[in-house]
Amino acid sequence: MAGAKSCFLINKESILNFVNETSLEPLVTLAHFFVEQQLSLLHIKRHDDAAVQLLYSIAKLIFEGEIVADKDKDDALEEIYTESYNQLTMAKGLLAEDVSNDTARKRTIDCLDSGIKFINDFKKETQDQPVFF
């Protein structure tokens, strides 16, 4: 068994000089598709290339069911975020009205504020993810 004569690594830097060509070579097209790792064709540099468009169409057909499942998960997360935020905010308001002990009120408000901050930070992290097609 003969060993490989050479081994080429394909990454963003190795195809950089070829991505701007009018017509992409098949290997460059495939590498560009994989290294960009964009869920939307609109976010890839060579979205005008027919072969890149074909790869995205194929990927869409393969992963369409997963995309719907992800959207359902996103909708569920949004509902959890909204309801949790509303409940914690309401609890904070009720606490201010109902608890006369300043120390207990402050300690509980701090705890509720931490929960609200966690929810807000989580939403910021997850809402910036691109949507497929």
Mean pLDDT, rounded, for 62-85: 78
Ordered by start, the domain boundaries in the chain are 12-127
Residues 6 or more apart from 40 whose CB is under 8 A from it? 130, 131, 132, 133
Predicted pLDDT of residue 130: 45
Overall pTM surpassing 0.85 (yes/no): no
State yes or no: pLDDT of 42 exceeds 80: no
DSSP secondary-structure letter at 43? Answer: G
